[in-house]
Structure 1
Amino acid sequence: MRQACPTRQLFAVPPPLEHISRPDCPIAQEPRQLSNPLKDAVARWVAHGPDLFLSRGTVEILETELQPLMPAGTLLLVEDMLALARRYQQVSGVHELRFRLEKIDHDSCRRFHVDQVPLRMLCTYAGPGVQWRHASDQLIHKTPTGWLTLLKGRLYPGWGAAQAVLHRSPPLSGLKMPVTRLLLTLDHPDVCGMN
């Protein structure tokens, strides 16, 4: 009998974002393809934008803070990120949020872990996406660029270690060509680093 290719499971799609409130759903993802104009805006940010933008506030405050930092041709990216911030507000129930946009060109967070947050949304706009696995399984899933990932952290009400999903940034040092990731992280406003 022929065995299935083990890499077929690397792009497993967990339930949609709205299912994250279910007790049996520690991760939710939404597949999406970045349009060519959005990819161009991402490339411009990677080339000319700040290495790190970190702030806390409402979507309106974040928009005001982002506007003077936008390189030419990146409005589409900023609009997309603010739309994701609004979705995070809806799913998490928070009015304010922590917004972190970072260029990453090194090995960052190489170890699989669970965050000390209630709920975290990740979107990798450039470079390889987040890697994740169930605590009970060693199979590593690789998230495609552009996909949305919503993860329950240790502070989520009713969180349990048995159903935990661990994640990490993909290691970049082993790649043949240098890569710069552009990662958006949306969190509860009171997470570590904002006080």
Structure 2
Amino acid sequence: MASIYEIGYAPWDYTDFLISLVENSDITLEELIEFKLLGSKDTDNFTRTNVYCTLKNRITIPIIENGRIVGIIGRDIDENSISKYMKVGYTDYWNGILWQDGERLDGYLQGDILHIIEGQIDAITVKQCGIDNIWSVNGVHSLTPRVVEKIKKMSPDKIYIHLDWDSTGEKAETQWAEKLGHRCYIVPSLSGLTDNEGKEKRY
């Protein structure tokens, strides 16, 4: 699965590797900073001694469009991290990514069912179970009008919503279902089952 989706890891000393790219290739320091692979506390004067890797100690998931990496999502592996996810790149895909057959596609649904999952790691876990057509969202507040329009263009017959089963996720599931219409089914987590155990709540 890691090789299919080109999932990697940026170690603590990854800054040195990025600096070596500047020294040994045509890539410039400014390009790495523009892509947000490098950051600096001194925004007016970038030098090789005052920059740092923004994705260090993170699992990295590339966002690929037409064979090009247009963005990277970094998931911190430190459970005490203040910022769990870091997003870098030129892309506007942060509101949702569609996972299918080893590709991240935009707007082309294979089949008639769409699964909405909160977070890329959860999406990969579900993908490992053999489920396709997974739309991974970046937080419960990412259902913008643009995303609603994208999902409508996919024209799924059924939409299964699997968000985190906490107060925020539960509230968001209801809001998402109301915006997306009667095709939606809310899928409860095992810890969130109620009297209707094992049954999806339909809108």
Q: Which has the higher contact order (CA 8 A, sep 6+)?
A: 1
The bucket for the TM-score relative to the shorter chain is under 0.3
Output the TM-score relative to the length of structure 1.
Answer: 0.25
Larger radius of gyration: 2
